[in-house]
Each structure stands twice: as structure tokens, then as C-alpha cells.
DNA sequence: CATGAATGAGCCTTCATTCAT
DNA sequence: CATGAATGAAGGCTCATTCAT
């Protein structure tokens, strides 16, 4: 009871804090342009501290990437739980996707950047794959619930296919949004709606309001 | 503004040659890890000459990216022209997709890398967007022809949606392929087939062999 | 000037303990590659405590060097006391030299390292000189006793010369031993015997068994 | 004939130039305190150049060490050739040893430093061993010639023993000289003379003038 | 034209040292 | 007393870029 925090817990807290600064810097500059000095300047600490809490740059980036995951993965849980019918769920989903695109564009471009880096650097692969799997699960939560609410009878698409296709649409939208396209969000929502109708034909019968 | 005293044709030839070396190096190492020295070493020229033919590193990379486009964009023209029926076209498409994934994985991971860089560096955006548009057109060539051969009656998906969804599937497959998944290609082909059936329901009636 | 509130005895005990850890680390890595962190990790203490017990790195190293001296300087006392005749003393001396080379090679290379450092850093000079003097005395103990037992009549070499020459032979042997030469110890013993015969011609008359 | 120097030759020339700057810096600061930036500052170049001409720090140091050897190894050739009798040769030898100690103390302490480093760093061992062998040969040139001129009848000491013992004496003298002992050189000459008389008893009969 | 020598900023990392707790 | 968190200088090294030849 002398020490308010277990040392190890405090250590992890600081790691998380620095991981967050890393995330912000990576999101702002991209992997290729992010240096440890820049990260430290976006934190309350000197750059020497980074090597006190992390083995090396890779360790730091992986830690911050895991933080990204925790932040993303529960984003759609609430709307899945709360939605009363298919139309409402779809609408909430599209709205939240739009919010994400608008508010977290920086963070999401980082994700696509890191996923691309994982194609080159084996060190990133395991973590990136785990996050991708989590995102797939998250998307599937929505799609499966949507299917249930819409009373889908026929076969469902595989979770992998649903995620890949929806992610493809999101990625294109992000690209256009970052290029300054004002209609990127609205277009993304329309295309996502169209894609959902293809994935779950039952939705087409009861279109979203 | 360089005013080359070389005949302009030769100048462009050299640029192309160096662009090709750049492409190979980028594909092997990724944007973040590619240096001008490395590029020069993968070419027949010295390291200093790069700044004679290119303003700076960005100029060089953009040039090499444009070369990437030329290489990709006609890849599916032949099968569109030659296919006699929907089943044959789909089969040829899936086979060629598989070949691409197997034989040009390096080049394609570079594409995803550069597309991610374009989200950070405005200088890359115009070129990346143009290439993305070309790819979309290329994909649409196939999809539209497939629809025609299958005798699709109802509305077609938008070219943007078709491209985004198919690209999403390809990207996931590339990720798994590079991670060592032996079944990545086969899985990609199955998911692409499933996706095509969703995009063009008429295909489902006359499934590919 | 630190005024320790610990009993002075305990303070000195700690210094000795940390000096020992320093000695081990220096012997393992050499002066140029030894860091305070590494030293602390080879001790039972934390890295911060070093600056409580020592003014700075130099102070710590000097302390550990003095410990080295204490360890070495009595090494040949026993054989001088116990030997009954010249042949036995010489044999015991050579045997012990061999043991030293085999068992304490790490510590001895440290000595040569630190002696070289003293040529650059004035701070080391006084301590190194004192140790060198002690070693000279130690060697002379043996040589002088050997001379007495052999019944040497003529003039003796100076202690400084005897030490310098014997040390030169030892140093060469250590170098070869550390380079992996299996015969380094045996060669050293032969050369030392030859050198002793030159230093004390009386030995040649009654050669060691 | 266009280029006044063969490129490769020019490259080696620059390497030698930088090796020389390295040698000066090492001699001034010692291995543990020498940085590449410091070396560059003792040269006409920026520190980036060092990595253009040398693979890494070890490569640079090894190159400079090899230069040390070339400088040392012929130092006594002239006096061996020119000396007419044993007394003259011994006197010339002692005089040159004294000059060396006075004029090149810095360089010689570097040698002892690097020889100590070789006990820790395997990368240095081969070069250090080769130089040590050259020095032994150089010393033996003198000793053997001295023996011949003195008309030595009995067995000679091994070259290794002669070198080790003489080097031990020189090293002690260097230590004292660097510590400010004004009599270090004279003492060294006396002890060397004494050692030579022990090594070559024939010298004692015809003492040096 | 083309080379490769040279620069200097910047990168990741290590380190001795300080200091709040 | 002792810890370990934090600092900032310095280390080896890479890099895009410039420029004399």
C-alpha cells in the first residue's frame, strides 16, 4: 500500500502513454516519415525515454499498433446491440462508418500504411494479421446481425469475403476523402449500402429508410 | 527546369530505364526502405546520374509508378477479347488473377504501399488516383463483358463498387500469400467467384466449370 | 564530498561489493565496452546506486582496480615460503604461472587493458603504477629467493628488469592463449624457464626437473 | 591517360590519408575515446566520408593499424646494415630506441592499447598478431646481427623470447615516460643494455662504449 | 553527359549522470 | 538508502543531394 500503483502496472501505463504518442505521430506522418525524435516531441518526454520503455523502434510501433486495435474493435458493438430492425441497424452502421471516415481518417490511413508495411516486414505480420482478424469479426458482427434482422434465408457470404469487400470500399473512400473529395463520405455510404444489398439480398426487400 | 541537350527521345529512354530499376527496388524493399543508392545499384548507372534525369526522389518514384500502370493495365484485355462465354471468361479471369498473385506479388505489394503513401504525401495523389482509375476501368472491362455474356438483365453494380470489392479480396489474398499461406491463391479464387456471383446474379444460373 | 550516514564500515563493504562486480564486468568486456548499466546488472544492486557509492565512473573503476591488486599480489607468497630448493621453486613458479594463465586469463587481459588506458588517462596512472610496483615486488620475491636457493654468486638483475622481461613473456603468452593457441601455456613455461636461466646463470648448473 | 591516377589507386590513397588521420586521433585519445566524428575533424573531410571509404569503424581502425605497422617495421633496418661492430650497433640501437620513446610515445601507447583490445575483440586479433610477428622479426634482425658481430658462440635465445623481454622493458619505460618520469629514457637504455648482455653473453666481453 | 567524391542533416541507439520518490 | 525514471549528449551509420571533374 506504500506505492499507489504496482510498479509493473505503472510501467505498462507509461508504455501505453508513449504508444499513444506514437500512434498520433504515425497517423500524422506515416510509417516512412516517423522518427523516434518526432514521436518523443509529440509526448511529454525526451527521446531517450523511448528506449527505456521499448526495446527498439519495432517494439514501440507494435505496441502502438496493438493500441490501435483496442480502439477500433468495439466501435460497432453498441449499434449491433441497440438496433431494433434491419433498416435501423443498416442506417446506424452507415452513419458510424461516415463518422469514422470523417473523424479518424488519419488513424485509418495509418492502418492501411502498416498493413502494407507488413507485406514487406515480417516483424509486423503477426500483429497486423491479428488485427485484421479482429476487424473481420467486428464487421461480421454487424453483417450477421443484419442478416438475422432482415430474415435472410439463403446462404450468407463468408466473413472473410464480407470484410474484404467492405474494407475495399472503405479504403477507396478514404483515399478520395483525403484527396479532398467532399462527396467521399456520401458515396461510400451509398456503395456500402449497395454492397450490403448484394451480400444480403433479403435487405433489398426491406430497404433502409 | 532541366533543358536536356540529349535528344528528348534518349532522355525519356533513360528515364524509363531508371524508372524500371526503381520499380524493381521498390518492389523488393518497399517505399520506406528504398534508397537512391540501392536503386542505382539495381541499374546500369551510377548513383549521381539519378539527379540528372530526375528532379528528386519523388520525381523518380512517380515516374516508376507510372511505369507500373502501363504494365498492369492491359493484363486482362486478351481474355476479354478471346472468351466465348461467361464460364470461360470467368475461369480465365480467375486463372489470370491467380497467376498475378503468384508471379507479381512483389509488384502488387508495392502498389498497396504506394497507395498508402499517397494518403500521406499529396505529391503522390494525382498519379495514384489516375492508376486506380485505370485499374477500375480494367476490372470493369471484365465485369461488364461477363455481364453481357451471362445475359444479365437487372442493374449492374457501379464500376467503382466492383473494383473496390474485388480489390479488397485481392489485397487480403496478397497479405496471406506473402505471410506464407499456401492456400491463399485458391481461396482468393473462390472468394472472387463468390463475389462475382453476388455482383452478377446471372452468373449463378450458369456457373463456371 | 559525500558524507555517508551509513556506518563507514558498511559503506566500504558496499564499495567493495560493487568494485567486485565492476571487476567481473571489465574482465568480460574490456574497458572500452563496459557500461555502468552492465556493471549494475552484474551486481545485486540497481543502476542508480553506483553514483551513491562512487563519484563517477572513473572512481568506480579505480576502486575495482585496487581490488585487482589485492587479489594478485600474494599469489606467489606460498611457493616462495615452501620451496626447499631452486629446482622445486622454479617448477612451482612455472606451474602457478600456467594456472594463472589458464584460470585468470580474463582478469589478466583486463590488467593489460587498464595499463594501456593509464597511458592515456592521467587519472588511472597513480593506481596503475602502484599496482605495477607491487607486481614487480611479487616477482622479485620469487627471483631473489630463486637466486638464493641456487647459490647465485654474481650480480643480480634489477627487480625492474626481471619484472619487465617476465611480464613481456607472460603478455605474449596471454595474447596467444586468448587467440586459441593450445600450446600457449607450455611455450610460456619454456620461455620463462629460459629467461630465468639467463637472469640467474646459477640456475643453469642445476636445471629444474 | 585521361585520368592522372588510376581510380583504384586514388581510392587507396584517400584510404591511406584517412587512415593516417585515424592513427593520429587514436594515438591522441586511445581506442576507447576515439569517435568517427573526432577522426573526421582531424582530417580534411566530413565524417560522412569515412563511411564512403570504409565499411565500418573496425575496418577503418584495422586499416590505420596496418599503416602503423608499415611505419614501424623498417625503423632499425638502417642501423643493422650500417653498423661496423657490436658496440656501434648496440649504441645505435639504444639511441634509436630512445628516440622512438621520446618522439613516438603517442603512437606506441596506441599500439599497446590496440594489442590489449585484441584480447577482447576477435576482429583485431589477426592484424595485431601479424604486426607483433613483424616487430619480433625486426627486433630479431638487430639481436641476431649483434650476436654475429659479437662473435657469440653459444646458443641464441629464441626470437620470441628476445622480443617479449625487450618489449616488456620498452613498455615499462613508455609507461614511466608518459607519467612524466624524465629519466625513463635513460633507464630504459640501461635496462635494455643489461638485457642484451644477458641474452648475448658475448656482448659482456666487449662492452659498448 | 556521367561519375563518384563529398556533405551534413538526420536516424536509431547507448550512455553517464541526475533526481524525485 | 535505494530505486528506477528521465535527460540530453554523443556514438556509429545512412541518406538525399550537390558538384568538381
pLDDT digits (tens, 9 = 90+) for C114-128: 999 999 999 999 999
Residue B146 confidence (pLDDT) above 50? yes
Mean pLDDT of B116-138: 96
- What are the CA-CA distances from residue A70 to residues A67, A134, D109 (Å)? 5, 10, 59
Q: Which residues of D88-102 are buried (b: 16+ CB within 10 A; e: fewer)?
A: ebbbbbbeebbebbe
CA C198/CA D201 separation, integer angstroms: 9
CA distance A31 to chain B (A): 7
Query: Residue closest to E10, CA→C1'?
Result: A35
Nearest Cα to Cα of residue C199 among D137, D184, D168, D86: D168
Segment A62-89 mean pLDDT? 92
Residues B38-54 have pLDDT tens digits of 999 999 999 999 999 99
Write out residues in chain D with pLDDT < 70, as ranges. 1-6, 206-209
Question: CA–CA separation, A128 vs A115, rounded Å?
Answer: 6
How many CB atoms sit inside 10 A of residue A179's CB? Answer: 15
Q: Does B183 touch chain A (CB under 8 A)?
A: no
% of chain B residues with pLDDT over 90: 85
CA of A26 to C1' of F19 (A): 36
Kindly state whether D32 is in contact with chain C, defined as any CB-CB distance less than 8 angstroms: yes
Query: CA B23 to CA B16: how far, in whole Å?
Result: 10
C172 with D116: Cβ contact below 8 A: no
Separation of A3 CA and E21 C1' (Å): 10
Confidence at B206, pLDDT banded by 50, 70, 90:
low
Closest-CA residue of chain C to D105: C119
At A72 the pLDDT is 86
Environment class of residue C63 by beta-carbon count within 10 Å: exposed (0-12), middle (13-18) or buried (19+)? buried
User: Cβ-count burial of B43 within 10 angstroms (0-12 exposed, 13-18 middle, 19+ buried)?
Assistant: buried
What number is the average pLDDT over the span B108-130? 96
Nine-digit cell string for A26: 504515425
Question: Touching check for C32 and chain D: CB below 8 Å?
Answer: yes
Q: What is the 3-state secondary structure (H, E, C) of A116-148?
A: HHHCCCHHHHHHHHHHHHHHHHHHHHHHHHHHH
Distances (CA, A) of C77 to C73, C81, C104: 8, 6, 18
Phi, psi angle pair for A35, to nearest 5°: -115, 160
| CA-to-CA dists, residue D141 to B76, C51, C55, D144, D148, angstroms | 81, 52, 50, 6, 11
Kindly report which listed range (A197-206, B122-131, C14-23, C193-202) carries the lowest average pLDDT score. Answer: A197-206
**Separation between Cα atoms, residue B137 and residue B142, nearest integer Å:** 9
Backbone torsions φ then ψ of A154, nearest 5 degrees: -65, -170
Query: Any CB–CB contact under 8 A between C57 and chain D?
Result: no
pLDDT for residue B1? 43
C-alpha dihedral sign at C30, D110, D71, C172: negative
Place of cell 509529440: A42
User: For A127, which residue in chain B has the nearest alpha carbon?
Assistant: B179
**pLDDT classification of C206: cutoffs 50, 70, 90:** low
Calculate mean pLDDT across residues A9-26.
95
Distance CA B176, CA A24 (A): 28
Q: Which pLDDT score is estimated for D209?
A: 43
- Tell me which chain D residue has its CA closest to the CA of residue C31: D32
pLDDT at B8: 74
The average pLDDT across B100-108 equals 95
* Stated length of chain D: 209
- Percent share of chain A, pLDDT over 90: 88
Q: Would you say C202 and C152 are in contact if contact means Cβ atoms under 8 Å apart?
A: yes
Residue A77 in contact with residue A60, Cβ under 8 Å?
no
pLDDT at C148: 96
* Secondary structure in 3-state letters for D62-101: HHHHHHHHHHHHCCCHHHHHHCCCHHHHHHHHHHHHHHHH
Q: Do B116 and A30 count as a contact with CB atoms less than 8 A apart?
A: yes
Distances (CA, A) of D119 to C1, C118, C142, D122: 37, 17, 27, 7
CB distance B177 to B101 below 8 Å: yes
Instruction: Give the bases of strand F that a protein CB approaches within 7 Å.
Output: 1-20
Q: Is the pLDDT at A1 greater than 50, yes or no?
A: no
- Is A5 or B25 the better-scoring residue by pLDDT? B25
CB pairs under 8 A between A and B: 130
Distances (CA, A) of C148 to C19, C152, C200, C209, D121: 39, 6, 10, 18, 42
Q: Residue D5: its pLDDT value, please?
A: 53
- CB of D198 within 8 Å of a chain C CB? The answer is yes
Cα D9 from chain centre: 26
d(CA A191, CA B165): 10
pLDDT value at residue B49: 93
Tell me if B191 and A158 make a contact (CB, 8 A cut-off). Answer: yes
User: Whole-number mean pLDDT of chain A?
Assistant: 93
> What residue segments make up the domains of chain C, in order of their start?
8-64, 73-203
- Kindly report the bases of strand E lying within 7 A of a protein C-beta atom: 1-20
Q: How far apart are CA B131 and CA B59, in angstroms?
A: 16
Average pLDDT over residues B148-160: 94
- pLDDT at residue D3, rounded to an integer: 44
Question: Do residues B93 and B195 make contact, with C-beta atoms less than 8 angstroms apart?
Answer: no
Tens of pLDDT, residues C78-101 = 999 999 999 999 999 999 999 999
Where does chain C show beta strands of DSSP type E?
none
What pLDDT, on the 0 to 100 scale, is given for residue A5?
Answer: 53
Give the chain A residue whose CA is nearest to the CA of B199.
A198
Cβ of C189 under 8 Å from any chain D Cβ? Answer: no
Output the pLDDT for position D1. Answer: 40
Residue C76 CA neighbour count, 13 Å, CB half: 27
With cut-offs at 50, 70 and 90, classify the pLDDT of residue A6.
low
Q: Which chains touch A (3 or more CB pairs under 8 A)?
A: B
Minimum CA–C1' distance nucleotide for B4: E1
| DSSP class of B155 | P
Q: What is the mean pLDDT of chain B?
A: 92
**Over residues A29-58, mean pLDDT:** 97
Q: Is the pTM of this model over 0.75?
A: yes
Residues A156-162, mean pLDDT to the nearest whole number: 98
Q: Which of C203, C178, C170 is nearest to C89 (CA)?
A: C203
Query: Is the confidence at residue A180, as pLDDT, over 70?
Result: yes
Chain C residues inside the 8 Å CB shell of D172: 132, 160, 163-164, 167
Report the gap between the CA of D180 and the closest CA in chain C (Å). 10
Rounded Cα distance, B42 and B20, in Å: 9
Cβ-in-10-Å burial (0-12, 13-18, 19+) of A63 comes to buried
**Fold that domain A8-64 belongs to in CATH:** Arc Repressor Mutant, subunit A (1.10.10)
CA distance A78 to A59: 32
DSSP 3-state of D5: coil
Yes or no: say if C84 and C150 are a contact pair by the CB < 8 Å rule: no
Q: Class for domain A73-203, per CATH? A: mainly alpha
Summarize the confidence of residues A165-184 as an average pLDDT: 98
Amino acid at each position: 500500500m506504500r506505492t499507489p500503483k504496482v510498479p509493473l502496472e505503472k510501467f505498462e501505463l507509461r508504455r501505453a502513454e508513449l504508444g499513444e504518442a506514437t500512434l498520433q505521430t504515425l497517423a500524422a506522418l506515416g510509417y516512412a516519415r516517423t522518427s523516434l525524435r518526432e514521436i518523443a516531441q509529440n509526448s511529454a518526454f525526451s527521446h531517450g525515454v523511448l528506449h527505456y520503455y521499448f526495446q527498439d523502434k519495432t517494439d514501440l510501433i507494435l505496441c502502438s499498433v496493438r493500441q490501435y486495435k483496442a480502439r477500433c474493435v468495439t466501435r460497432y458493438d453498441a449499434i449491433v446491440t441497440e438496433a431494433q430492425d434491419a433498416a435501423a441497424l443498416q442506417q446506424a452502421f452507415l452513419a458510424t462508418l461516415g463518422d469514422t471516415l470523417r473523424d479518424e481518417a488519419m488513424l485509418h490511413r495509418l492502418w492501411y500504411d502498416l498493413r502494407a508495411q507488413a507485406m514487406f516486414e515480417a516483424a509486423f505480420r503477426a500483429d497486423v494479421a491479428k488485427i485484421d482478424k479482429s476487424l473481420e469479426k467486428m464487421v461480421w458482427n454487424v453483417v450477421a446481425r443484419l442478416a438475422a434482422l432482415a430474415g435472410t434465408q439463403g446462404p450468407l457470404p463468408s466473413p472473410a469475403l464480407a470484410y474484404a469487400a467492405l474494407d475495399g470500399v472503405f479504403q477507396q473512400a478514404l483515399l478520395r476523402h483525403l484527396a479532398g473529395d467532399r462527396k467521399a463520405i456520401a458515396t461510400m455510404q451509398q456503395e456500402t449500402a449497395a454492397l450490403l444489398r448484394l451480400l444480403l439480398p433479403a435487405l433489398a426487400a426491406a430497404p433502409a429508410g
